[in-house]
Chains A and B, each alone.
Chain A
Amino acid sequence: MPRSRMVFWIFFAPVIMWLMLLIVLPLCDLLTMSFRGENDYGDMVWTLQNYINFFDEPIYWLTFVRTCLYAVVTTVIVFLLSMPVSFYIAKLARARVQGALMIMLLLPFWVSELVRIYGWMILLRESGVLNFFMLKIGLINKPIEMLYNDATMIMGLVYTSMLFMVVPLVSVMESLDDSLIEAAHDLGAGQWTIWRTIIIPHCKPGITSGSIVVFMLVLGNYLTPNLMGGKNSLWFTEQIYNQFIASFNWNQGSAFGFLLLVLSSLIIWSGLKLTRQKLGEVAS
């Protein structure tokens, strides 16, 4: 069907403006800013200093490595927890319960992340609800501070990003034909074999897209480490925030930002390569 040029431009102009002005140009600016810095006379010059600082100061790159490792750990935990949950919803729950379960699963995630983290804070802190009950039943005799440690922080990260694994897993499991599992069962396959040879291979696209989204969200999360991890959280986004807002060193902050962007792109790219998928397929 022939289409007029005018219609094309009506669609094209806003889209190209959006992508160029709000995505491409800002990222280019981020890149150039990260290579600028003041020399000894206070003039702005091209320099690698911001990146050298990153590798010279152990606190910077250790935070970076730590953030990355914890993001991987969180993604693995989210996966292990989401697998049985989505299996239950897709394959075990009765059809009428299924829809209700799905809605119940979605609802908490529509609520702002801040509210959810705040809920955990009033549950877990020293004067919190959990401590109150444990004291009451005599499980402990003085309150313990459960916030501000790494385990709680990871729990919070798992909590805030779990949905993005469960939803793709449920939809991919629903597309798995029950008769395959039945056949395997009739032929004498055990639970473990069924999971390993039928369910997990079938769920691979869901696992990939879920993992990518969860990993990226955890890596870029600021709220949860900041509020649940406290001063010891040492999350890389906090370093970026400190450089930008507290020290007002935008050049250093840009370098950190760019490193984080490279890391997340690399991991996503290799995740897609490993499972031989394209970004477009995963997104839709």
Chain B
Amino acid sequence: MIRSLPRSKQYNWSFNCFILLYFVFLFAPLVVTCVLAFNNSDFPSLPWKGFSLDWFLSDGPDRIGLFHDDQNLRSIVTSFQTAFFVSILSVVVGTCASFLFEKEEFRFKGVLYFLMLAPLVIPGVILGISQLLASNTAGMFFDENFGLDFEVFRPSFWLVVLGQFSFITTFVTLVVSARLRKFDHSLEEAALNLGATQLGVIRHITLKFLRPAIIGAGAVAFLMSFENFNTTLFLVGSEPTLPINLYLQVRDGSTPVINAVSLLLIVGTSLLALCNLYFSKKEE
């Protein structure tokens, strides 16, 4: 039944088959997507018409490869910018939150902690629409009372950043808190006894200790932001992020350019994920 117990051949064999099938199920769509990016055909389907890099490099007029496709390239840049700002913001606020919940005592801490966890259980679509509504209300308020017009309050780049930030910060907080719980407080006390200021202790000792968790959380935040769809869908303005842009293309029919973008995404995220894994393993 388990490693240390005797098992029948049949049991072993069927279990191994099951796991093999399971992994085929997991990887089939990804492999097919990647392979068909190189098919010399106008549609992402078989039969195989030969190897071609057209869908990456060709610059028209019949086929426009990814590297000449302005719309897709622009959305990739937008996604990078969004993910950059979201991960910076969420790491800063998430670290503050984990200090607050792990080290401080104050009234209504329980309520606030519950609120901090809430984004985990609020569907992304709801977060998206509620922020769309709130920003619209805020925009109208400023417009009517002060005659001010803020870009932020309309569906735009910054609204997407705020929307993604609002729930990604929760994940960062959980990761950093887990590490902070392992921190040996006597180190802090020793530094304070030796005359360090409180902020000095946090900067030189606690944050140093937290650094791996913070970097890891930042990488996860980056990935989550890069591929977020549900919340972004409602907040996006005239600059679509990559998932939104891909969605619009897939909905209206597909070309192998989508396969090419997907291939890059698969390779990119796998590399980032593997790096993250490698460093977290090394840390242990």
Contacts and interface: CB of A to CB of B under 8 A. Distances in A.
Contacts, number: 258
Contacts of B250: 114, 117-118, 121, 227
Nearest to A115: B262
Interface of A: 1, 3-4, 7-8, 10-12, 14-16, 18-19, 22-27, 29-30, 33, 81, 84-85, 88, 91-92, 94, 103-108, 110-123, 127-129, 132-133, 159, 178, 181-182, 185, 191, 194, 212-213, 216, 219-223, 226-227, 237, 240-241, 244-245, 250, 253-254, 257, 260-261, 264-265, 268, 279-280, 283-284
Dominant secondary structure at the B interface:
helix
30 contacts: A11-B104, A19-B116, A22-B165, A23-B115, A25-B134, A27-B130, A30-B126, A88-B15, A88-B18, A92-B15, A108-B26, A113-B229, A114-B229, A116-B30, A119-B29, A119-B32, A122-B32, A181-B5, A182-B5, A213-B120, A216-B123, A220-B126, A240-B125, A241-B233, A250-B133, A260-B126, A261-B126, A264-B121, A279-B120, A280-B114
Interface of B: 1-5, 15, 18-19, 22-23, 25-30, 32-33, 36, 43-47, 92-93, 96-97, 99-100, 103-104, 106, 112-127, 129-134, 137, 162-163, 165-166, 169, 174, 177-178, 185, 188-189, 192, 198-199, 202, 223, 226-227, 229-230, 233-234, 242-243, 246-247, 250-251, 254, 258-259, 262, 265-266, 269-270, 272-274, 277
A81 B199 CA distance: 50
Contact of B2 (A11, A92, A121, A284): A92
Nearest to B192: A1
B270 A178 contact: no
Given A33-B133, A116-B30, A118-B254, A110 B273 contact: yes
Contact of A1 (B32, B189, B274): B189
A8 B121 contact: no
Contact of B28 (A18, A123, A181): A123
A113 B26 CA distance: 13
B19 to A, nearest CB: 5
B178 A29 contact: no
Given A8-B104, A221-B230, 8 more contacts: A110-B272, A114-B250, A115-B30, A118-B33, A128-B45, A178-B4, A222-B229, A261-B126
